[in-house]
Structure 1
Amino acid sequence: MDGSAMSLLLLLLLTAASHAGDANESSADPEADRKPEELGDVAATQGFINSADCVVIGFFKDLEKPEVKDFYAVVKDLQGLPFGLTTNSQVLSHFNISSNTISLFRQVDNRREDLEIKNIKDLDASKLSRFLQMNELHFVTEYNPLTAVGLFNSTIRIHLLLFLDKTSEGHQETLKIFHEAASHFLGKVLFVLIDSSLKTNDQVLSFFHLKRTDLPAITIYNTENDKTDRMPAGKISTQRIQNFCSNFLQGKQTGEDPNLAHLKTEEKVLKTEL
């Protein structure tokens, strides 16, 4: 990513610094009797990886290590993620595991993130939970200060942002349409939901010069060159989203955001604030 494309990343990281504590809170029941799925061979492990947008697997050579207890604690805490566990030597060899490792697999950009325990000092359940939350990406990823890190670490540089009030009537139908469109751009575009009902997202709305009266709105953004475009107002449909994304990927735009110049200006301000 070149210097001119750092502006939005800086904005999101600044927001993360301000609100990471709120995002780290979990509504899950820590006493829930939830366990990882046991994976007995390579075929079962690969099937588990392919079963969801994002999965976590504990590859353990030694079940007596303290990180295994931390792993089980996080399984109970992060109930939105599927967890698997294996000690099978053939599976460990197939995935090039030489020591206890916790890996996150995500389909959206065909990426694997490894946390090799021997390289982490003072690992605990809280640090493990934060690592997974920062790196999980789904076909539609809801933006928060932790997922922002994974979004900008992804090799996919085109992000389609849906600004939507999740408390509004009919928002579930719009989200369903957004999900349907996302499946057509796997590996090409990251689909991101920004909940405009959260005060913590006001800065992102402002960054794209959006008012609440503009919502719901869809904006596409290239993190490499700062090119952006906004889908014209109107009924949101899967076909319209597909056409909008396809045009942007082909270099066609419905009319580049006239406020694009503000990206360069705000980049300087944000770097000064750092």
Structure 2
Amino acid sequence: MITSMFLALLVSSVIAAEKDSAPPRLSDTKAVEAFINSAEVVVIGFLEGEESHGFKELIEAAKKVKSVPVAICFEKEVWADYSVSSGTISLFRKADDHKEYLSLANAKKLDVDGLVNFISTNEVRYITEYNQVSAVGLFNSDVKTHLLVFANRGTKEFTELNQKIGALAPEFTGKFLFVQVNGAVKSNFRSLNYFGLKSKDLPRIGIYDGNSDMKWLLPEGDITPERVQEFCQSFLRGELKEVKQAGHEAKTEL
């Protein structure tokens, strides 16, 4: 008897935990807007119901990509406010004010891994660490100018610069993507070499402009938010053109 009661309590606790961890349901535009504004990157499944294509896959993907909040909206009258007319999984991000739409009608082979990849590759933040996955979202963005923070992970500078420089990013939304490049990773040596840098030279700050394929380095010295801010403003004012540091080689990725 006691054993049966214990098992019943255990099962009910598991069910309650699963419900608590389930993505929130957004019932109106106000709720959707509040959710979008709640984090740097969010995902919303505009779906017809729990039996619709993509629902179970999104629930499982949400469990694997814990860094990105996920919600569901079943209310079709809300969809029109976000240019959605059929089942769609949408990613909203603040760094470049971008929306990425995955139409379920065109995703015939949709699976959990595919959704995880969709979210991960588009998870561009106010400051994004560069790697093979994040590179996809960074270079597919309409914002082609990158403020690069070169630092070696594991050092004090890596963490401090991530906080201090990342705090500037909202000011330059739509103008720069802030990218952190870990100079201690061999796969990033190509990026360092492109700027004439080695791991021992870090930390340094650079700008890469994909539109002109040009690059600049902030002169050596203390890396303060004020200096980095002025560096970015100088680029936007066109004052860095006379200090071009890019080579003549073609450049398609860092």
**In the alignment, what sits opposite 1:166?**
153
In structure 2, what is the Cα distance between the partners aligned to 1:53 and 1:217?
Answer: 25
1:40 to 2:27 alignment:
yes
Do 2:129 and 2:181's aligned partners in 1 also have CA atoms closer than 8 Å?
Answer: yes
Which position in structure 2 is the counterpart of 1:147?
134
Matched residue SS, 2:68: coil
**Residue 107 of structure 2 corresponds to which residue in structure 1?**
120
CA distance in 2, matches of 1:79, 1:179: 21
Q: Return closer, same or farther for 1:246/1:172 CA change in 2, 3 Å cut-off.
A: same
Give matches, 1:82-231, under 5 Å. Answer: 82-231=69-218
> Deviations 1:118-152 (Å, cap 9, x if unpaired)?
10121101011111111121111111112111111
Report the Cα distance in structure 2 between the residues aligned to 1:124 and 1:256, rounded to whole angstroms.
Answer: 48
Kindly state the Cα deviation for residue 170 of structure 1 after the two structures are TM-superposed: 4.1
CA distance in 1: counterparts of 2:239 and 2:103, whole angstroms: 43
CA contact (8 A) 2:95 2:169 kept: no
Task: Please report the RMSD computed on the Cα atoms of aligned residues, expressed in angstroms.
Answer: 2.0
Range moving further from structure 2, 180-189 or 90-99: 90-99
Displacement of 1:96 in angstroms is 3.1
User: What is the 5 A alignment of 1:63-78?
Assistant: 63-78=50-65
Is 1:226–1:263's contact at 8 Å kept on the other side of the alignment?
no
Work out whether residues 104 and 132 of structure 1, in 8 Å CA contact, stay in contact via their aligned partners in 2.
yes
Structure 2 spans left out of the alignment, 5+ residues: 1-16
Q: Which residue identity does 2:224 align to in structure 1? A: S
Question: Displacement, 1:257?
Answer: 5.0
Q: Is 1:263 matched up with 2:249?
A: yes
Instruction: Write out per-residue CA displacement over residues 48-102 of structure 1, whole angstroms, 9 at most, x where no aligned residue.
Output: 1122211100111132035211101111000111111110122123223222210
Q: CA deviation at 1:248?
A: 1.0
Structure number, greater radius of gyration: 2
| TM-score scaled by length of structure 2 | 0.86
> TM-score w.r.t. structure 1 length?
0.80
8 A contact 1:231–1:254 mirrored in 2 = no
Q: Is the 8 A contact 1:232 1:254 kept in 2?
A: no
| Residues paired across the two proteins, number | 235
SS of corresponding position for 2:243: coil
- Alpha-carbon separation, structure 2, partners of 1:94 and 1:255: 45
The 10-residue stretch of structure 1 (164-173 or 149-158) with the greater mean CA deviation from structure 2: 164-173
Of structures 1 and 2, the one with the larger relative CO (CA 8 A, separation 6+) is 1
Contact in 1 for aligned 2:130/2:179 (Cα 8 Å): yes
1:177-235: CA deviation from partner (whole Å, max 9, x where unpaired): 11122122111111001112222212222222211121011110110111211001111
Gaps of 5+ in 1: 1-31
* Gap change, CA 1:102 and 1:80, over 3 Å in 2: same
1:14 is aligned to: none
> Aligned residues: percent identity?
37
